Chains A and B, each alone.
Chain A
């Protein structure tokens, strides 16, 4: 042995060398494991950071101390006393808004018109004395308004109105979950010094109210409702365009396209488009859908725009079409994979039975490839759902308080709202941004879970 390899004459040194090599191998094993652990750690920190901002300790201070309003707590006051507080502290105009909002339940954009009409048209009878029926709503006296409000709202409604309009609780300071848990003593000290009247409580920012209330300029009163509707409408438009076109293109490329230069360019082009940054699609949408096709995307040619001056292509339709272009390459590529996976023997069998190409596609390719196509489409949709940059460019606006009515409405979307809230300096905006992120992630998670279930349930192998 020793004579064969003079280098290792000394068996000791051979063993030492071997051990060193093995040690090195082991060390690197740990290093490689470590690299993947960093990814895992990043993910955990990301979730931790969201949760610690979504659950915070808040100090709430009342703008007007309820004790100064009445000699008893608000909960014990009668309807008359609550109404009296309202008439004393709230202006008539604000009260009119309260009636339109809470009693009539009208949309904000109808308020101005309703204000001009007679009482009869605004309210159902029974809420006001008969002799006032013809009086214009805007000319009502303060006492009359208060009595209408008192008739129209329940006691709880009145109490809520007093709290919202008169007491006006404001979140003066908030501490994230980790701060609140670790430094509770110091926080208590700060509260005692700075906000002696404040009420301290825990607040979970993502809750049912958050989902069902529209935007507000104050974070604690703001919700995600309009953004959720905006996102859903936009996805509807996106899917309606991207799904059929995507499948069509995939069928063309897999079943019809001859191997010539044109089809090779189409194929190459699709994979190039998949790598184009999303913001470029936004710019394309801005120039084509928002600006060039604004008569269509604003609904003008369908007679849906009342005021010529407000024609704007910055609608759900424009955003949905932009997103459709963005996810089209992804849908095409995944549908192509699904179609490719259909066994050729099935196709041959269909031809053997005398099927034409179209019949073969309809009866063999589509049913067999559908689970794969759907999986790919759902994943593409979940990508589009979280996509923000194109929407910023296409021009979704963040301060919208009314639900979108259809594809021609202006809108906001969940990721846009997260972006806008994150850009605000106050801590409370960080908290609602975190809450919106949780909603977004849950929606995406359910999309992906559906895709995985589809894939496992329907995947067949030949």
Chain B
């Protein structure tokens, strides 16, 4: 009864008072909130600008500051940085190649492990596994993906390295080596490759699979001749993202691949990667405006561009070469 009355009041109210003003009202509160939300969105832009500015500024300092050496004050130059094959900041030799080759070797080993295993896992999950098997196997990959990298580093140093030493002999392979770091890094990125490739595989429409079966192919033939070719762009994109992740990975290489730059492509040797160098130099209280301090920014900038370019290529491949069905 009471409810009935309320409704009546609401219903009759407009006719007795002024007609409702239905024009858009200025709502200062909403505008303030809107500006706040925009600023939140803009934080990400500030972050990127901050990264580029900070890395750029300090890198420029690296090449404009005069550092003292045995033959008096000396200035470093960019060409030496990009082409030099010796990294010894204490005698003002800063060629990035020893660090870069170590990064490339560990990343190559990692991808060499992660691509077949990740792709195989993706194919199994998307084409072969029963729903029950999926429910058991998928969490395994998720757990692998959730383990912190420092734990992988521990695994590399205390398990994989002794294992490799047992297999290859302690003379061939030392306590610190790129192979062990690369293998463990590969295990770390299996979930990334698997989940991205699986997304690409399951995006291939069912009709194509049925057509392949209709022509009498086995499941393997259907997978390799129809599904994988149709999903190539996604798989390649996953591969490139995996490389990018491996290049930027720090803790595994900092723990297992050795301290000290070494210009070599032999994975059984110890060598320091770009990220490993940054981690080692910045451990403890690094003093500002020194060659060491400035050098980590220059390496960081190189690293930033390498990963940015790889990520962009990956996105471009996905967008450009995606086979759109229906």
Contact = CB atoms under 8 A, between A and B. Distances in A.
B279 A253 contact: no
A415 interface: yes
Contact of B146 (A28, A36, A270, A444): A444
Interface in B90-148: 116-117, 119-121, 123-125, 127-128, 137, 140-141, 143-144, 146-148
Given A32-B123, A266-B42, A276-B304, A388 B150 contact: yes
Interface stretch (B6-14, B69-77, B202-210, B242-250): B242-250
Q: Which of under 10, 10 to 19, 20 to 34, or 35 or more describes the interface residues of B?
A: 35 or more
Given A419-B150, A422-B154, A283 B40 contact: no
A275 B311 contact: yes
Given A253-B41, A415-B150, A277 B249 contact: yes
Contacts of B190: 39, 42
Contacts of B3: none
Q: Which of under 10, 10 to 19, 20 to 34, or 35 or more describes the interface residues of A?
A: 35 or more
B297 interface: yes
Contact of B154 (A38, A45, A270, A418): A418
Interface stretch (A103-111, A128-136, A284-292): A284-292
Interface stretch (A216-224, A344-352, A389-397): A389-397
Given A283-B300, A434-B154, A43 B251 contact: no
Interface in B222-250: 241, 244, 247-250
A440 interface: yes
Interface majority SS (helix, strand, loop, mixed), chain B: helix
Nearest to A244: B40
A35 interface: yes
Nearest to B141: A39
Interface of B: 27, 29-30, 33-34, 36-45, 47-48, 50-51, 54-55, 58, 116-117, 119-121, 123-125, 127-128, 137, 140-141, 143-144, 146-155, 157-159, 187, 190-191, 194, 218-221, 241, 244, 247-251, 254-255, 275, 278-279, 282-286, 288, 296-297, 300, 303-304, 307-308, 311-312, 315
Closest 10 CB pairs of A and B: A277-B248, A386-B148, A35-B120, A248-B40, A25-B218, A389-B250, A252-B37, A32-B124, A25-B220, A249-B40
A287 B147 contact: no
A440 B149 CA distance: 12
B283 A392 contact: yes
B117 A35 contact: yes
Interface stretch (A82-90, A119-127, A324-332, A369-377): A324-332
A283 B54 contact: yes
Interface string A5-34: 000000000000000011011001101111
Contacts, number: 247
B43 A392 contact: no
14 contacts: A29-B220, A33-B124, A39-B121, A49-B155, A270-B44, A280-B300, A288-B54, A312-B285, A328-B43, A387-B149, A395-B282, A397-B284, A418-B151, A422-B150
Contact of B241 (A272, A275, A332, A441): A275
A437 B155 CA distance: 11
B285 A314 contact: yes
Given A24-B218, A276-B51, A388 B154 contact: no
Interface in A296-325: 312, 314, 325
Nearest to A396: B283
A434 B151 CA distance: 9
Contact of A279 (B140, B158, B275, B283): B275
